[in-house]
C-alpha cells in the first residue's frame, strides 16, 4: 500500500490564484490589501522567509513593505514601530518575524500588534475568537492544515483526530479548528501514556512535535490521513541512512548539500497510511498562502466588507 500524497504546493497555488482574482476586484474598488513585515537584525533564514512573503504579496497584487531595524533594537523601539504600523490605514496586516533578538521581549511585541492586523493569528484576542467560533484571524499553519483536508475531500466531522504537540502556534489552534469542524480531538504530548495506542486510533493524525521522524509506521493505522507539520533539517549520515536508505533522489541531495529535510513523520509511514503530506511540499507552502489569505481577510474585516458587497 502506498499513501495518497496530499500536495501542498498545488493546493497553495490554487489558493493564491483565488486570492489574486479577489484582490484585483478589491483594487478596482479602491482597496489594496497591505502587509508590513518587520525583520529585526540579519538572521539569514528569517531573511529568506520574509523575502518570500514580500515576493508573494507582489505576485498577488498586495501592497507590501519590509522594515529592517538593526539587531540592536530595543523592546521600546520595536514597540514604537508596531504602534506606527497599527495607526497606518494602508497597512492591513503586520508580521513580526520570529525569532527576535534576545534583548527584545517577544510577548510584549506580539501583544502590541492590533488584533485586527494580527495576520499571524497569535494575539490572545484572535485565539479567543477561534475558541468561541467567531470571525477572526486564524494562525496560518493550522489554517493550512485544515485547507489541505478540505480541498483534498477528507471528511473531518465525526472523525477521531489526534494532534501530537501542544504548541501555541500549531498544536492548540489546530486542535480547536478540528473541534470546530466536529472532529473528536485528542492532544498528545510528552506526558501522554501509550502514545502509540492513542495515535493508532486516529482517522486524522497531525504531527507537530518538532522531532524528526518521531511518528513511526507502527503508530499509524491503514485508514489514517497524516498531516506532517514538522520541518527538521538533518545532517547526520547515520540518521539519514536510517530514514532514507534506497531513496536515490534523497541520496543525491544529501551527497551534494550535506543536509536534507525530514518531517515529524518517518518516511516509511507513507507505506502504511491512506494519505499523507510530504516534507518538503506539504504544509510548508500552505503557511504563506494562509498568511496572504489572512491579509486579504483583514483588509475586508477592517472595512466591514462582506463577500456579497465585493461581488455586488
Cell numbers that stand for 50 in this block: 520574509
Q: What is the pLDDT of residue 178?
A: 98
What domains sit in the chain, N to C, each tagged with a CATH number? Answer: 31-116 (3.40.50.10860), 140-286 (3.40.50.720)
Cis peptide before 198 (omega within 30 of 0): no
Q: What is the pLDDT of residue 307?
A: 47
Beta strands at 275-276 and 225-228: parallel, antiparallel or unpaired: parallel
Q: What's the N-to-C CA distance of the chain in angstroms?
A: 49
User: Minimal CA–CA distance to 93: which of 284, 230, 297, 245?
Assistant: 297
Q: What is the pLDDT of residue 310?
A: 44
User: Minimal CA–CA distance to 82: which of 56, 118, 58, 54?
Assistant: 118
How far is the C-alpha of 251 from the C-alpha of 249, rounded, in Å? Answer: 5
- Catalytic residues, by residue number, are 53, 97, 120
Low-confidence stretches of the chain (pLDDT < 70) are 1, 305-312
Tens-digit pLDDT profile for residues 194-221? 999 999 999 999 999 999 999 999 999 9
Cell numbers that stand for 104 in this block: 527584545
Beta strands at 275-276 and 260-262: parallel, antiparallel or unpaired: unpaired
Eight-state DSSP code of residue 245: T
What is the crossing angle of helices 283-302 and 140-151, to 10°? 110
* 156: number of Cβ within 10 Å: 19
- pTM score above 0.85: yes
* 39: number of Cβ within 10 Å: 21
Grid cell 504531527 is found at 207
Q: What is the pLDDT of residue 61?
A: 97
Tell me the C-alpha to C-alpha distance, in Å, between residue 110 and each of 20, 43, 146. 28, 19, 24
Q: What is the pLDDT of residue 308?
A: 43
Q: What is the pLDDT of residue 45?
A: 82
Amino acid at each position: 500500500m502506498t499513501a495518497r500524497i496530499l500536495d501542498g504546493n498545488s493546493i497553495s497555488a490554487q489558493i493564491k490564484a483565488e486570492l489574486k482574482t479577489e484582490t484585483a476586484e478589491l483594487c478596482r474598488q479602491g482597496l489594496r490589501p497591505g502587509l508590513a513585515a518587520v525583520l529585526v537584525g540579519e538572521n539569514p533564514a528569517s531573511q529568506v522567509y520574509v523575502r518570500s512573503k514580500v515576493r508573494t504579496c507582489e505576485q498577488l497584487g498586495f501592497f507590501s513593505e519590509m522594515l529592517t531595524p538593526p539587531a540592536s533594537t530595543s523592546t521600546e523601539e520595536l514597540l514604537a514601530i508596531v504602534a506606527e504600523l497599527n495607526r497606518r490605514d494602508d497597512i492591513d496586516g503586520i508580521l513580526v518575524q520570529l525569532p527576535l533578538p534576545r534583548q527584545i521581549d517577544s510577548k510584549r511585541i506580539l501583544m502590541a500588534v492590533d488584533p485586527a492586523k494580527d495576520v499571524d493569528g497569535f494575539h490572545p484576542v484572535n485565539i479567543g475568537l477561534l475558541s468561541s467560533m467567531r470571525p477572526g484571524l486564524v494562525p496560518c499553519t493550522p489554517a493550512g492544515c485544515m485547507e489541505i483536508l478540505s480541498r483534498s475531500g477528507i471528511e473531518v466531522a465525526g472523525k477521531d483526530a489526534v494532534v501530537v504537540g501542544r504548541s501555541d502556534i500549531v498544536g492548540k489552534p489546530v486542535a480547536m479548528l478540528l473541534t470546530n469542524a466536529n472532529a473528536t480531538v485528542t492532544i498528545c504530548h510528552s506526558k501522554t501514556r501509550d502514545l502509540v495506542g492513542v495515535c493508532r486510533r486516529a482517522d486524522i493524525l497531525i504531527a507537530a512535535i518538532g522531532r524528526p521522524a518521531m511518528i513511526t509506521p507502527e503508530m499509524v493505522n491503514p485508514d489514517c490521513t497524516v498531516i506532517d507539520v514538522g520541518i527538521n533539517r538533518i545532517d547526520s549520515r547515520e540518521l539519514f541512512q536510517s530514514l532514507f536508505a534506497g531513496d536515490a533522489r534523497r541520496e543525491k541531495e544529501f551527497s551534494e548539500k550535506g543536509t536534507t529535510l525530514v518531517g515529524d513523520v518517518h518516511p516509511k509511514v507513507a507505506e502504511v497510511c491512506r494519505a499523507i503530506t510530504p516534507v518538503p511540499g506539504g504544509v510548508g507552502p500552505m503557511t504563506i498562502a494562509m498568511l496572504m489569505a489572512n491579509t486579504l481577510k483583514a483588509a475586508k474585516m477592517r472595512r466591514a466588507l462582506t463577500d456579497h458587497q465585493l461581488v455586488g
